[in-house]
Amino acid sequence: MSDGLTPGQRWIQEQQAAHEVRHQEHMARHEAAVAQNQAFVAQQMGASTGASSAQATAVGTPIFGERSTPNPAKWQQSTDEVVGIVRATRGSTVFANAEVQGNQTKPSPNGEYGGEGDDAVLRFDEDEMRGWIAGCQKLADDMEDLAAQARRELVMTNPKIGEDHIPSARELADKFVAKAEGGGGIEYTNTAVGLLEAHRDHALGMKAMLEQTLAAYVSQEEQNQAAIETIEVD
């Protein structure tokens, strides 16, 4: 049974549905990973502080490597901003004049109708699509920033005699590195940095798909306009 959609409209619906499913899966994994990393950081920082106090020298000479102090509140703020961008993008309407559902359309908020069945009209909002594209780029940039933040806050730099001669200190430092960038049996894709970079790549993939869709619509509009201009009216 025909659903009243053109092949192009049907393809767009299928792509949107598939990306929505992938987006939900990525967001669920991301939120779970952020919560897990925050708990791990809080736990390990407590252990690290205790070890540093016990092993400090009488004159206060640092014997442990340097690592930025993690800020869970900042992580949560960054995560909330990213989630807000995604939700705002999902709430946008690229097809402003008619929302196709099955074999019919329903009126959009501005009161215009697209018709029903084979008469359905799907008008494309180029500016809205460009807004989606910009949103995807912003999301990718935010994921890149969060990945860089993970490296700064979870990876130890400048190891000193403490890590070289105290097994527990070395083990703790290695755990931070493994959770951040992999190693110790942890795959890169399951690390904080790896997961954030996967989100960045997914956002860039969505951006590329939207750019391809935009280019196709613009090209079709140009072809339609050129065809209209060739029509001779008596």
- CA 222-132-80 angle, to 5 degrees, is 180
For the ranges 10-24, 102-116, 219-233, the lowest mean pLDDT is seen at 102-116
Instruction: Assess whether pLDDT exceeds 80 at residue 116.
Output: no
Residue 1 lies in a domain: no
Q: What is the mean pLDDT of residues 188-202?
A: 86
Residue 228 lies in a domain: no
Residue range 26-46, pLDDT digits in tens: 677 767 766 666 666 566 555
Residue 194 lies in a domain: yes
Residue 60, token pair as written in the block: 């206060």
Q: When comparing pLDDT for 217 and 84, which is higher? A: 217
Residue 232 lies in a domain: no
Residue numbers of the domain that contains 138: 7-52+62-220
Instruction: Assess whether pLDDT exceeds 50 at residue 115.
Output: no
Give how many domains the chain has, as a whole number.
1
Coil, strand or helix: which one is 6? coil
Residue 18, token pair as written in the block: 């598939």
For the ranges 50-54, 134-138, 182-186, 192-196, the lowest mean pLDDT is seen at 50-54
Instruction: Assess whether pLDDT exceeds 60 at residue 62.
Output: no
Residue 233 lies in a domain: no
Residue range 11-29, pLDDT digits in tens: 767 777 777 777 677 677 7
Residue 19 lies in a domain: yes
Residue 179 lies in a domain: yes
- Whole-number pLDDT of residue 40: 62
Residue 230 lies in a domain: no
172 falls in which pLDDT band (50, 70, 90)? confident
Residue 184, token pair as written in the block: 């110790």
- Whole-number pLDDT of residue 7: 67
Contacts of 55 (CB under 8 A, 6+ apart): 63, 64, 162, 166, 169
Q: What is the mean pLDDT of residues 185-198?
A: 82
Q: Is the dihedral of CA 203, 207, 212, 218 positive or negative?
A: positive
